[in-house]
Structure 1
Amino acid sequence: MDKKTPKFMKDDSFIYFVIILLLIIVFLIEGMYIYVGIAGVLLLAIVVYTLRKQVLRERQFKSYLIEYTKNIENLSVSSFYYSPLPICIISPNGKLLWFNNKFKEFLNNSDDIIENIEELIKDFPLNSMDGNKEGTIGNLEIPEIGRYFNVLYYELEEGKFGDEQSYVCYWNENTAFVTLRNKYNDERPISILIQIDNYEDISEKLEVGEKSAMTAQVEKILNKYASQMNGFVLKYENYKFLMMIENKYLETLEENKFAMLDDVKAIKGDNDYSFTLSIGTGAMAKNLTQLLEYSKGALDVALGRGGDQAVVKRINSVKFYGGKSKAVEKRTKVRARIISYALRQIIDQSSNVIIMGHRVGDMDSLGASIGLYSIVRSRGKKPYIVLNDVNHALKNMYERMKEEESHYIESILTTEQALELADQNTLIVVLDTHRKSYTEAPELLDKIDKVVLIDHHRRSEEYIENTLLDYIEPYASSTCELVTEIVQYMEDTIKLTKFEADALMAGIVVDTNSFTFKTGVRTFEAASFLRR
């Protein structure tokens, strides 16, 4: 047997048994029967001795196993207690049943400070352990010592530690990782595109010296904010700037609601003229290229919503700040003419045109749809209007439609009918909304690729992407006003019927509250055209 085998497990009587047995055989052969008898007695004595020794061996072996097991248990307990990894055993309700020497560091080396794990970590997620045999709880912070841990736990069988169910928890520190991750996030670059959105309009009303002085003050304000955030400002056009800062300062900017907006508005020129800013901020992008795309997209949204505001775009969110100034009419007739020409080309290249507004339609939505219907019809294409429900606001105009222009009724479709009618060359025109979920038939936008968007609302986070043409003018009073301008600039003069002109006028009147709200020169020009 192996040298490490205990002596009581070694059996040396077998050799004697074999020798005596051989002697008996020899004595029998030689006829020495007296010696055979003596050998037999010895053999019997050896057998009795061997049996007795076997019983004693079993007792010693059992004692050895007990002692060995105790040593293993003591070793296990000792290794747990003095483990370099903090370990504790808790009950399902968080009661602290046992903890090792390393875990004492959390308790300032006092055994009696806490009785429940929630006294150490207030929001310890006990619910996440309920019903699980094992698992991991990530990034738990112990506020008292400012360290972070991943807690690996598994359920002990009932009765293994006391009379109740319990969990053993191993605390694996990841403070270094969390610190590095936070440092990385804090130092990630943030790109901010800033534009004086009324620069050209105000410049025409100011002398050169005053304009330069006001612009210099804007630069001074931007540089002040950049220096406070360890960043810099680069002016790349007369009224356009790029600011770069670290991510850790963005939260402060958002908490202060981009105070630079108000600081710049406070700069007054002659006749109380002042600049306003549009700010597009890109954050948490995968790379610098995407970061700049986020900034550009955010700036477009800020300008599309009327300016004088900041938009912050992250991977999955868009936030808005500011936007308190009254929208000032900035669009030009040139753009309306360009939009009219482009729309005419797109309609001519389509098999048919489906027009839809927003759910719970109003007179602006329906009036604009009727106006666009007349445009499509003038181009020799078949127009359709999606209208699933005629509510109280539309009832009077709908009844008049049935009496005076019955062909409109034949062209009104439900969502299901529109889906059946649409083909690959169908054009869909969305009016008075730019939010897909708010349209009469969002399913159409999933089926049809050719989309034109006309709206007068400030751009929101949800936006219909990849349109062939979009005409978003938050300075306009209504979508009916925009459609009326498009009608005027069509190449061929469109003769609106009295019903169509009245529908467009009704949309303008309702949205301007009878020309008392958000009404400009262009609004009255459109109304004048419709009255002719």
Structure 2
Amino acid sequence: MLTLRKKNLNYKKIFLFIILIGTFLYMTFLDYDNIKLLIHNPNKEIQEVKKIIIKLFFSILGKLVIFFIFLSIYMHFQRSLKIKRLQKRLALWSKLSYYIDKIGEEVFNELTIGIIVINTTNNTIEWINTYANKIFNNPDINTSLNLINNQMAELLNIKEKEQQIVLKIKDKYFDCLYKKEFNVFYLFDATQRERVQTLYHRSTPALIFLSFDNLENSLKNLDFSEQSQIKVEYLSAISDFFEIYETYLKQLSDDKFLLLLKREQLENMILEKFSILKNIRNISEKYKLNITLSMGIACYNLPFNQLAYYSQSALELAQKRGGDQVVINIENQKIQYFGATKTSLNTNSKIVSRVNSEIIKDLIQKHNNCFFMSHKNPDLDAFGSMIAIYKIASILNSDQDHYIIIDTIFMEKNFKNIYENLNKENPKLLKNIINANKANKIINKNSLIIIVDNQHLEILDNNELLNLTDNIIIIDHHRSSEKIISNKFAYIDASASSTVEMIMELIYFLNHPVYISPLEATIMYGGMIIDTNFFTSRTSARTLEVASRLINMGAESQKIKLWLRQDFDQILEMNRLLSRMEIYMKKFAIITSDKPINDRSFLAKVAENSLNVQNIEAAFVIGELSDNQIGISARSCSDNINVQIIMEQMNGGGHINSAASQIKNSNIDNVLLELKNILKNEYQEGNENMKIILLEDLSDKGKKEEIIQVNPGFGNYLIRTKKALLANPQNIKYLEQNKKIKEEKEQQKIILMTKLKEEIEDKQITFQIKIGPNGEMHGKITPKNIIDELYKSHNILLDKPKIILDNEINALGIYKANIILKDNIIAALTINVKAKKS
């Protein structure tokens, strides 16, 4: 369009230029005779020539004057046209500007969009529109944004140009958009959308598979009537528990059940922490049976066949972890675990060991060379397991070379002593112990990697090697989690004392002679001693049977004792840390180190020694590690305390009696506080409640900023969902300071509103209205008219919702309008309506 205009303008200029040239030539042609006379009669007298020249000059000059007069008239005419066009355009713009101002005013004050402009120098409200006033209950100008809404105040510190969050204000939800460039907040009502989402969230289907652990084996020696009586008691406990939540329960077999429910019901069960597990344990203890309950739960918006698959997988994970627990898989959430307060039931039979032995045998013979790995900083159980499985592979696939992968650079001092002893007595084995770099050059697609005493990628000695082959076997005695390494076969038995115990059982069923030297047997025996804490925990008849076989192979307890000796300086440091022990809840030992810890295993040793203190059931040692992490080692000597569950809540893991975690981007004080909260939540005795500070109103519970007492499960749920804060001294102090600031602001507002009331009651506003021939008044005076007139007459600006009229003002007379400035502060304004003189 712009190009077309330019072309038209060029054409006009060319046309004008042609007219000018033509006019000039025409005028010149009129003087052609005089010019010709001068050219063809050069001998004429001078006087006559002069006359001709003068005549010619004035003729041309006159023509030029006439030409320029016409040109001026033309230019003036063009300028006049241009001015008229500009005047029309200006009039149009003025009209549009008026309508735009009206539309803008309507958007700002009438539409349901809240707008707040912020003064960023002191983070106060600079301007607020009518709808935002209504949302926040009419805050004053220059009020701190922190007093209005903390979430909005936090947005002032963002680095991005804009950011959007969802606010819950009273019973409504709002999309809050902050524009940093203009220091303005926009609020859009999102209540209907959020309610639909909440309804969708609460109605998400959930499916539960329940299974009794060890039911058949425990009841097989009882007569039929006793079995029936006990089963009825178990079934009644399950039926009574789930009836409360109005779920659908279906028995699939003697020991398995199906449960259908919604997410809202599931979340209520989570708050109660599945007390059904304890009810089943109580019945089992009553009849002295090893029967527990495991549950796998899936909650996804998926067809029921897929939901059943997820639920079955969760149940299998619960059973792999030792049973007596609930595994919950909720869409877009980390897998949760409940229960498992008891040591895993020993449900593994010799038949299971024999079957697994055959599977592993076939896999070893099917592939080429084998490589054996464990976790970082391997202990005696890991090293002994790798030696044991290496011996098996050497017999089953003797024509191939097999390798143990250990990085000797990072070995602990005690471990190096063992390594040196092995070098003296069995140098042939030592040649087949390689590091990850060398293994990287040897492993091919047909190689087999066997991971022992570990199933988690995060703590694997070298996880890059797993990219070289898909043939992976896992043999481990730790409880499973959803983070298990992808594998072709996993043999996991959480009831086993150690991985050495599991592999020695595999050797028993191989039907191939496997020679184990006395030193190798001693290393394996040492692994069992450490993992069972000298056979004081996780020790079964299977454990003692394997230990007896190792002793027969030449295992020496005295040599193990020498390997486990500690340096003098380490003993002094351990005793110093033990002197810093804090006894928490009368049964937990908590130690924090005030110095950096270079050896992670040292934390475990301090924790083990802490269990020697009378009445201590579990110990936790926290220290700052060299790699900018906070390490925590946990040990338990009680069947009632599962330190693995505790560490999993702190992004760690392990076994029921020994676990650990490494936490990044934190400090010792925060880790200690988190640990204490978890311990209090999991093991607080009786029905003692926890105190919390509500961050929003909760029906039947309390109001915002009120301190209430709730059960620990519900309290922690509110804290996780940011609906409450823990009522610790620091948060209570902040609450009191916040209340004090609000009270001062409130008092200032009362004083201001009282003065405003006196000022309004001393004033009067007058309306002069045109009336009809019969004295009638057309229309009525609205609160907006009153606001405008009060501002115009007395420079007092009020909001529309603050004016209440007893009757409509639709006739002449004197009226009273009540102006609610604040609760119990009401000003009466006199309004005089007169007839306008014609």
Q: TM-score, normalised by structure 2?
A: 0.52
Query: Deviations for 1:198-224, whole angstroms, at most 9, x for unmatched residues?
Result: 202221243322222222222222222
Do the aligned partners of residues 274 and 477 (structure 1) sit closer, same or farther apart at CA in structure 2, a change above 3 Å counting?
Answer: closer
Measure, in 2, the Cα distance between the counterparts of 1:241 and 1:270: 23
Indicate the residue corresponding to 1:256 in structure 2.
272
1:290 to 2:320 alignment: no
Question: Match for residue 524 of structure 1?
Answer: 544
- 2:361 match: 344
Query: What residue is the counterpart of 1:179 in the other structure?
Result: 195
How far, CA to CA, are the matches of 2:158 and 2:320 in structure 1? 50
Q: CA deviation at 1:252?
A: 2.4
User: In the alignment, what sits opposite 1:356?
Assistant: 373
* Counterparts in 2 of 1:213 and 1:365: CA distance versus 1, 3 Å: same
State whether residues 323 and 345 of structure 2, in contact with CA within 8 Å, keep that contact through their aligned partners in structure 1. Answer: no
Rate the CA distance shift 1:92–1:199 in 2: closer, same or farther, 3 A.
farther
What residue number does 2:291 align with?
275
The yes-or-no answer on 1:231 pairing with 2:259 is: no
Residue matched to 1:197 = 213
The 5 Å alignment of 1:46-125 reads: 68=95, 71-72=98-99, 74-91=101-118, 93=120, 94-108=123-137, 110=138, 112=140, 115-124=143-152
Contact 1:81 1:99 in 2 (8 A): no
Tell me how far 1:439 sits from its aligned partner.
Answer: 1.7
Question: What secondary structure sits across from 1:382 in the alignment?
Answer: coil
SS of aligned partner of 2:377: coil
- The Cα of 1:452 is off from its aligned counterpart by 1.1
Q: Is the 8 A contact 1:347 1:353 kept in 2?
A: yes
Task: Decide whether the 8 Å contact of 2:250 with 2:259 is kept in 1.
Answer: yes
Distance in 2 of aligned mates of 1:246 and 1:277: 21
Alignment of 1:394-405 (within 5 A): 394-405=415-426
1:165-215 alpha-carbon deviations (Å, 9 max, x no partner): 532x44322211110111011011111111110202221243322222222
**What is the correspondence of 1:130-149 to structure 2 with a 5 Å cutoff?**
130=158, 132-133=160-161, 135=162, 137-143=164-170, 146-149=171-174
Measured in 2, the distance between the counterparts of 1:78 and 1:126 equals: 29
Q: Deviations over 1:216-249 (max 9, x none)?
A: 2222222223222221111101011111221012
Determine the structure 2 residue equivalent to 1:35.
Answer: none
Q: Could you tell me which amino acid in structure 1 is paired with residue 176 of structure 2?
A: V
**Paired AA for residue 91 in structure 1:** I
The alpha-carbon distance between structure 1 residues 304 and 112, as it changes in their structure 2 partners (threshold 3 A), is same
Match of 1:384 in 2: 403
User: Secondary structure in 1 aligned to 2:323?
Assistant: coil
Equivalent residue for 1:150?
Answer: 175
Matches of 2:119 and 2:310 in 1, distance apart?
46
Q: 1:487 to 1:314 in 2, by over 3 A?
A: same
User: Which structure 2 residues correspond to residues 213-224 of structure 1 after superposition, within 5 A?
Assistant: 213-224=229-240
CA distance in 2, matches of 1:344, 1:177: 59
Aligned to 2:444, which of 414, 418, 423?
423
SS at match of 1:440: coil
Q: Residues of 2 paired with 1:63 and 1:483: CA distance?
A: 94
Is 2:475 the partner of 1:446? Answer: no
Match among 473, 484, 490 for residue 463 of structure 1: 484
How far the C-alpha of 1:128 sits from its partner, in A, is 6.1
Q: What residue is the counterpart of 2:261 in the other structure?
A: 245
> Are the equivalent residues in 2 in contact too, given 1:194–1:242 (CA < 8 A)?
yes
Aligned AA (1:337):
R
Gaps of 5+ in 2: 1-65, 553-838
Distance 1:257 1:376 in 2: 45
Aligned to 1:310, the other structure's residue is in SS state strand
Distance in 2 of aligned mates of 1:66 and 1:299 = 72
Q: Tell me the alpha carbon deviations over residues 98-146 of structure 1, each in whole angstroms, 9 at most, x when there is no partner.
A: 33333333144x464883444443311553675555x451422222xx2
**Aligned with 1:302 (options 302, 311, 318):** 318
The 5-angstrom pairing of residues 478-493 of structure 1 reads 478-493=498-513
Q: 1:430 to 1:188 in 2, by over 3 A?
A: same
How does the TM-score come out when normalised to structure 1? 0.81
State the distance in 1 between where 2:115 and 2:87 align.
37
Residue 375 of structure 1 corresponds to 392
Quick one: distance in 2 between partners of 1:425 and 1:298? 32
Distance (Å, rounded) in 2 between the aligned partners of 1:285 and 1:398: 54
Distance in 2 separating the partners of 1:505 and 1:152: 65
The Cα RMSD (Å) is 3.1
Structure 1 range deviating more: 249-258 or 422-431 = 249-258
SS of equivalent to 1:97: strand
Which has the higher relative contact order, 1 or 2, with Cα contacts under 8 A spaced 6 or more apart?
1
Match of 2:524 in 1: 504
Is the 1:120–1:142 contact (alpha carbons within 8 Å) kept by the matching residues of 2? no
Between Structure 1 and Structure 2, how many residues are aligned? 471
